[in-house]
Every structure is written in C-alpha cells, then in structure tokens.
Structure 1
C-alpha cells in the first residue's frame, strides 16, 4: 500500500492564554520539506519550519509531527545548530515526533526557526531498470501560510521518465536534479516520479494448441506486439510459426498449421521495453478510428443512460474521474472465468466492478462521446497483494483502456482501476512503467485471446510468467530480400515475386524498398512495420515474352545498405524466341515445299 504522510499541524502549550485553541490565529507557519535521495536509494526527509508569533503574549513551547505508514530512522531535531531532544511515540503504524523547545521566543513578529530530519526507506524503490519515487499526499496544507516541497534526485538515476504532478520549477546539475513544488502543486495528489530510459520485463508464455477436426487446419495465436509505449524482443519461439502477421488492431498473430488431431505446445519468450513517453509509431487511419467508436455487446454506446452520461462528461478526463469516484472494486470477483458484466451492468452495479468493468464503462462512455477507445489486456505489476494480477499465481490478467488523442496522434493508456484503488494516485495523466500489453481489443471486445487463454484439459497449468530482468543482447533485425520467378506459362508477362522477410528478434520499421530494372527505377514500396517472422510480397511484372528484347536483363531490389540482384531469362528468352522464329520459318518452308511437291505430283499424274 502507498504510504500516507499526515501532517496534523502543531500541538502547543499556551503559557499565557490557554483558552485559545486555534494555532492558525496565533502563528504564521512556514515550512519547507526536502526529500533528498542518495545514490543507494535512501531518502533523508528534512522539515525546515518557521513559526512566527502573531500575538505578543503567546508563543509555542512544543511541536508534534505525526507520520503514518512511515518507519523513520535516525530522527534528529535542531534549532540554531543546537540539538533539540525528541520524544518518539509509536502506535501501530503511526510515529509521533514530539519536541519540547528549550527556550521561549516571545513577542509579536518574532519567529522560531527549527528543523526535523529522519531517514525513510520507502520513498524510492528500484524496480527492474527504473527508479520509482513515491511521496505521499501532504494533508492539512491549509494550515500553512506557505509551504514548499523540494525533491533532490541523484543524476545517476538516469533520465526522467515521468513526474506527476509537474513541478513548478526544476534545476539540473551534474550531480543531482532538483524539483520544486509549491503549496498549490501538491495539494491534490501525491508526487510520483520515475527515472530511467525504460523498464524491462522478461516473459515466458506457453500456448497449448489442438486441431480436433478431421482435416488439416491453421490456427492463429496472439503474441505480444509493439506499440507506441512498448517494444518486443523475442528470444525464443518454438516451434517457429509459418508467419506472423498484423491484424486491424495492431496485434501480432502467429500462424501454425496443425494436422488432424494434432496437439502442439508453443513456447514464446523474450523481453519487453516499456517507455514512459510515446515513441514514433504508425498513425491510425480514419477508418480504424471510426471503427473504435462503434457499439459492441459489452460497450453499449447506444444505451440511453450511457449516452446521456457521455454527453455530460464529454472528455476522457471527466470520464476517468467519474469512473474512479463511482465504481467500487469488488475483490471477491477476482478469479478465473468470472462473468464479464459489460458497461451497462457496470453502471447499474457500481459496487461489483473489477478491472473489466472499469475498462468497459470507460470505453463505452468514450465511444458514446465520439472519442475512439479500446481495451488492452495484459500484465500489470503491483506490490499490492490485493491488486496483483492473478497471473502471478494463475493466468488471469489485467485490463485497462486506451483513448485516441487526436492532437498527439497517439493511443493514450490509462488505468481507472488503479486510480480507484490506490488512494487517489493519478493514472490518467501518466501511466507507470508497469503495464505490459498482451493484446488489443478494438474491433472485437473478446478476440484475439491473450496469452494464458490457450489451455487444454480440466486442470490447466500456469502458462504466463513475467518478471523484471535485463534487456537481452540480440542483433538488430535486418530484412532478408528474396526474388523468385513465378513459374507457369504466361504469354503476356514474366512475373517475379519479391519477398521481404524479417527473421530477426524484433520488428523492422519504415523501410523503403526500391525495385530497379537494369538500373532504372521501376517502383518504390514502403513498409511501415514488419514484425518478426513477418513478410511482405510484391510482384514485378516484366514485358511480354513475345518481345523478349524488351525484357530487362537484371532486377535489383535495394533497401538501406542491401542490394540484391538477380539476372532474368532475357538471353535465354531471346535465344528461345529466335529458335521459335526459325522453327516457325522452317515449318512454313516445309509446309510450302510439301505443298509444291504435292502439286507437282498431282500435275504429273494428270500429264504423264
């Protein structure tokens, strides 16, 4: 669970006027809290406090600071470089630090400057390749006349992946990065940040396939795919698929051919890099975006209640806020093979929601508001035992939605489920580096089935394993160019098939394929994305074989630094053409000779 730091304000002994009970009317309170994180991840928290007397006859003689969910270590307090004795009281998860001031600061306008510091090991955590920082929401900020929070992070933590809320200011230096937050910036939410270029998860997935029919058949399985926020590198796919192709939603589908009654276990392993910011990715077509505003059996966009609510909410942010505030997570429903209620039932039964209902309701409301939206099904890592996906012990995954941001041309992932179950953390403005997408459901709310769904028998085993790990070192994928003549008799054209194949471990992007006939540019093709084991084919039609001298002698296919050439059958075609012509002439000659001979014989008989 997230740690919550609670400021309960000042507890004073009023020596001159014990009847006054509201410290706000008697003191100006200014505080600066510094979270200084070491390179090993330990955080020293320092509260620099100023209490200024508003009245002449009242001063503060003691101060109490309560910390909830924090186990402070190395607690210290001082004033003017002199140590102040502390009394520590612990009650369950609450620690109270009590100070008794050794002197009296009396007089209107006079101020007491003092500090409290302690070490906290819960603020920063290294998960995989990323340092994650979580500073709890500060409560009771209205008590302070001024408040400032400073976060100091070592430069060795790496690049800033995300920080929310955005700081008022930041200062970078060779040794550390400093982020400054004023009172208004931290009033509504905790501070969450991550440092590192990307997060890495290793995955090991098993698919159990069976062909129960009496004829040979092809089966497709969904393997993890690239997106704007993740990149897949495969280390093993056994057995190898016939091919991997991309469906309308961007899923990667691996095709396997199975004989009648054949069973095959497919094992897919590799690594995924998760990015905090969207990387360059092919932009969706208008037709696809329109498709992602349609109604489905679980996304009932035409339901009057959903439609009216969507008209009121209008924006993705408003829809997210409504769902996180109104749906209640029902932990009793987190189990395999649970009924999917859909958006309409989720709206009518807000206390029976799990991640599917949070997601379905968002998608239905967004689509009803003419905002393209779709479902992601995958793995989301959490230390919260109640929220951990069952894929840690079974193969029940997590679901979250994406909406299309037309200004950035990006599918934006959000998680209203976590927004409702983590004590107010914002999973709309940023999504952490812990959500690993397996499949996208846009056109169809159920298919393709995600990993973990391909099981056989009544006692299926666990088939989904995901863990933090290092990025595997594999060569960059390079396309393989194959040029083959299409066999067969064709009196009009000679046809060559040009195939671009990706036998590498990761996808290939933005490749321009140029086709030359005898050095002359004949055609240019662009491949936006070619997944591992994927292929793209083009046909190159050459001139009619009736005029073989017009055939090019060489076909070249160039992409990047590759140039593959093949010689055509031009010379043989010309020889064949000449041979056929000579044969034709010979046949005509023979036919003519035979005809003359026949006529001569006939004349001879008539004129002996």
Structure 2
C-alpha cells in the first residue's frame, strides 16, 4: 500500500511571519524572462526570443538573514526584439537592501507587493539589441524569510525554480562553517565543495520541483527541570540517560539519591530513601545529530524474549503474513510510514488510548506517535531485531509537520534499533507528517527521557517537565571534575586493596582508567553514571606493603588523583600481624611446651 505525501508550502509552515499572507502551494520564486519589450520592427514577442542562463547564490552567515544574488545572462535569439525591463517574482517574502547591476552598471530597480507576491522590477537605461547580443544582469538582496535559527541549529529552505525550456538555472548554497555541519538535506546536492569559510552545495534548478530543506549544526543544548512523584517500595525513578544521541549534565537532584544504576534497557535508575515522595531534577542535555559510534553502556547482543504484551505482541494472522517480508529496519519503517495516518483529532480528546500494534494495523487512520512506534517495535521484535521504544520530549516547529501531544502532558514516542555498531533512532511519525526522511538522518530536536526495550510501560517518564534551549547558545558546559568517594578494606593477609568509587560529578564517566600509586595494574570504568558506584580491587605486593607503611597511596581516576586517607595505619597494623603473628605464635608455643 503506497500513500502519497503532500508537502505543504514550506514558507508558510516554517517561516511565516506574524501578519504575512502566503498562498498555499505557490511556487516560491520564478523568473519572468521579459515584462516589457521594445521592438525594432513591429513583431510579436515570444518566449523563445531569448535564452536565459541564471545562477542563484545563497549566502548563509548570520541567520535569519540570507544574502541572495541572482546572476542572469540573457541572450537575444531574435534580432528584432530587445528588453526594456526584467522582473523577479516571489511568494511574499521579507527582503531588504535590493541592488541591481546591468552589464556591471548600477540600474534602477523597485520592490513592491502585488497579489500577495513580492516583485523586484529592473528598468534598463540602455538598449542591447541584435541576434546573440547578451545582457548580464545581477540582482542582490537580503532575505529574512528563508532561514531560521533555534539554539545552535539553522534551518533553511531553498525555493523551487520555475521551469522554462529556454532557461537554465544553477543554485549554490554557501553556508558559513561556523554554523556547523550538514544535518539533513531533503535532496542530495549535485556537488559539494569548500571555499574559504564556506561549505558550498550545488543544485540544478530543474532538479528542485519542491525546493530543498536543509539543516545545519553540530550540537544543541537544552536546559531541563523535571518533577517526579514517588510511591511504593523501592522508591525509584528513571533519570534522563546518556544515549548515543545525548549527553546528560546534572545540576541537582533534590533530595539526593542513595545510588544510581544502569538497567538492562540503558535507563538510569535512581533509588531514594523510603520517606521520599517528590523529587526535582535540574540539568542540561547536549544533543547530537548523529549517534556516537561505540556508545553502548548496555549490550544489545541478546534481544529480550518475544513480546507477550498487548502493545508489541502481533496476533493478527494477516499482519503476521505481511511481516514475513519485512526483515530489515528500513523495510519496517517504510511499511509503517505508508500504512498509518496521523489522527489530528486525537489532540482534542481528553484521554488518548494507546492502541498497540494489532489495533493500529486494523485502524491505520487512528494513529498517533505511540501507534507508529509500537507497530515498528512489534515488527522488529518478531524478527528478533534489537529494538526499543524511546519516550521523551520533541521540540516542534509546526504541529502539522511535527505533531506531538505535549499539550496533553503526553510525551512524544519514537523507535530505536541496533544497526550492528550503535543504537540508531528513527521517527516514522514525523517522517509521515512532514515528508522528511528520518530513517537516513535524525535531528537535534529529540530528547530521551526513558527507554522501553524489556517492558512497554516501565520505567515511567517524569510527571512534569520543562525543556528550553540552553543559554547561552553555543556555549559548551563547563568542564566536569569528577569527585570520588573512596572506601577500602584489606584482607587479613594484606593481599588486596578493595576500592569503591562513587561518581559525584555532574556527568557520567565513559571508558576512564583507574590506577593506584603502588601498582602497575590499570582498571577501566566502561560506564558510570552520576551517583553510580564502581567496585574494584588491586593486589598489594609485600614490597608495596612496606612502602604503604610510610605514606598513604593515591588512586587516579580519569586523570585526577585522590588520596586514600588513613590507609597507612591499617597497612602497618596488617603488616605487623602478617609478619610478626607467626613469630609470636611460635614463641608462645615454645613457652607452652617448656612449662609443660
């Protein structure tokens, strides 16, 4: 089953300004080859009286301003006709600083709005006549309607070009490197190059029937404040975890947890005292557009047992038969996007019932994000593919293109799957509603709160949440210095030093070394969340024990040294027991035998 997607007018949906009027579905920019013609002889002008070659340059340096330059070459093919004026016509746009040159000479041009369209008209002061005579025209201006910046991310839309058999148009998007790397293009560029501070993307104008969406950025920061209500025993909750797409920086957890551990799904489970009923968590999330390769605190080697719950267990015979041919995540994603349709009427309902995969299949027009996700997860689990539901916050620009149920205090849901190297997130809901390919590339708008791989419901996401762009924009959070709490005990023979390391920093430790001053042995912390504890032990040789009787040892964690205070006294005590106890026993035995 194939469903046609209608992509709404991007200018209307993403860049519409208050009070502006843009007709839906209108071509964003096109060139009228001639408006008024003068004739050497009284003949009727036709479109093939001229051949036009155009190059359009977009310079993106300081969003939302985009400098646009049209370089147009007009060649006469009819010796009896010449141009007296030329016009560019757009869907209504916010432009400024219009300048026009004809054959390198400044010429008058006017900008005006008519019938909800913006016109730039150039009047020529000279005559360029004769067959094959050429006029070089340059029109430049600043456009405030094409680009939009949110936090550290820049989105831009390049409008489609009108088709004309007698014109050729090439488009160049020049993006300043300071705006970050390419996150997404709705259409692949014909060529990519660099020139100084610019990344340059080249397109053929006739190859852009719907225009081009593009997004740039390296990372995004969000400040969050989350509230939890606790009950039952144990008192625990799921903190936003590190994932392949995000890094967590905790400012505060009030009250502080007793411990934090990573569960089988990758969630950070914080445990509290039994009298705690409410918890507030404040921090910052750094989001990445691509997964961090190699990040996997939880091994996906074995998929949990086949789903038996009502959300992910497929029982419909027809769906089971269809699923036989959906063996890859890409096949599954394509099927889900084509089958389901987002039900916007549910946004107005007081209660939204989660349907599950079987009901979603039978009622494809009644889907919201949970149905897209549950059907994807259920089909993947049927083939034992490592997969999970992600529940979290999504920053949306337009409820038509990127719908969420945040107004109902229901978070957005999307799937993730293991591709053999990392966890990859996809969003079939937004791919269906917005037309963007979320399987090939992701974005910087999704924030993970909880991961459901083993259970479709637990752990719960936060009860209340507030997520805003991090401030100041573009600043990296301060360098984190991890504080460690060191606990130790020494076996009676003095052969091992046991150490408990508790991460008291704001962020997790990943692949960090642990060394002690008395040994060449090095241990490795694969992953340790804030408030998490790592237990290890080091062998203490007799020579090392003698050295430890003279000074306290140190433990080096992630390049930071920490003194193990008080160890010297205990080492002396154990040293005396270890080496002098046998002598005392022998002397005691000799005295006993002598008196006997």
TM-score w.r.t. the length of structure 1 is 0.77
Cross-structure match for 2:239: 223
Report Cα offsets for 1:474-519 as digits up to 9, x if no partner.
Answer: 55233626242279xx8x9987542121011111111233568xx5
Question: Which residue, out of 460, 463, 470, partners 1:449?
Answer: 460
Cross-structure match for 1:265: 278
Cα distance in 1, alignment partners of residues 447 and 127 from structure 2: 58
Q: Aligned ranges for residues 381-460 of structure 1 at < 5 Å?
A: 381-385=395-399, 387=402, 389-391=404-406, 395-406=409-420, 409-422=421-434, 424-452=435-463
1:189 touches 1:426 (CA, 8 Å); kept in 2?
no
Cα distance in 2, alignment partners of residues 312 and 480 from structure 1: 52
Cα distance in 2, alignment partners of residues 44 and 179 from structure 1: 15
Q: CA 1:202 to 1:170, structure 2 compared with 1: closer, same or farther past 3 Å?
A: same
Report Cα offsets for 1:321-373 as digits up to 9, x if no partner.
Answer: 44444432222223675211223322332322222222223333444566433
Cross-structure match for 1:562: 561
Whichever of the two has the greater Rg, that structure is 1
Q: CA 1:541 to 1:46, structure 2 compared with 1: closer, same or farther past 3 Å?
A: closer
Cα distance in 1, alignment partners of residues 500 and 125 from structure 2: 84
Q: Aligned ranges for residues 299-448 of structure 1 at < 5 Å?
A: 299-300=312-313, 303-310=316-323, 312=325, 314-334=327-347, 337-368=351-382, 371-385=385-399, 387=402, 389-391=404-406, 395-406=409-420, 409-422=421-434, 424-448=435-459
Cα distance in 1, alignment partners of residues 380 and 50 from structure 2: 49
Bigger drift between 225-234 and 549-558 goes to 549-558
Cross-structure match for 1:480: 484
Cα distance in 1, alignment partners of residues 338 and 49 from structure 2: 37
Cross-structure match for 1:597: none
Cross-structure match for 1:527: 525
Unaligned 5+ segments in structure 2 are 1-12, 16-25
Number of equivalenced pairs: 551
Cross-structure match for 1:44: 67
Q: What SS does the corresponding residue of 1:378 show, helix, strand or coil? A: strand
The alpha-carbon deviation at position 288 of structure 1 amounts to: 3.8
Cross-structure match for 2:200: 178
The alpha-carbon deviation at position 588 of structure 1 amounts to: 5.5
Q: What SS does the corresponding residue of 2:234 show, helix, strand or coil? A: strand
Bigger drift between 38-47 and 526-535 goes to 38-47
Q: What SS does the corresponding residue of 1:290 show, helix, strand or coil? A: coil
TM-score w.r.t. the length of structure 2 is 0.78
The alpha-carbon deviation at position 71 of structure 1 amounts to: 3.0
Q: Aligned ranges for residues 504-515 of structure 1 at < 5 Å?
A: 504-514=505-515
2:312 touches 2:357 (CA, 8 Å); kept in 1?
yes
Q: What SS does the corresponding residue of 2:443 show, helix, strand or coil? A: coil
Cross-structure match for 1:235: 251
1:79 touches 1:114 (CA, 8 Å); kept in 2?
yes
Cα distance in 2, alignment partners of residues 319 and 91 from structure 1: 46
Cα distance in 1, alignment partners of residues 590 and 207 from structure 2: 94
The alpha-carbon deviation at position 276 of structure 1 amounts to: 2.4
RMSD: 4.0
Q: CA 1:541 to 1:75, structure 2 compared with 1: closer, same or farther past 3 Å?
A: closer
Report Cα offsets for 1:1-44 as digits up to 9, x if no partner.
Answer: 23585345647679888797xx5x77544322211234364112
Bigger drift between 336-345 and 134-143 goes to 134-143
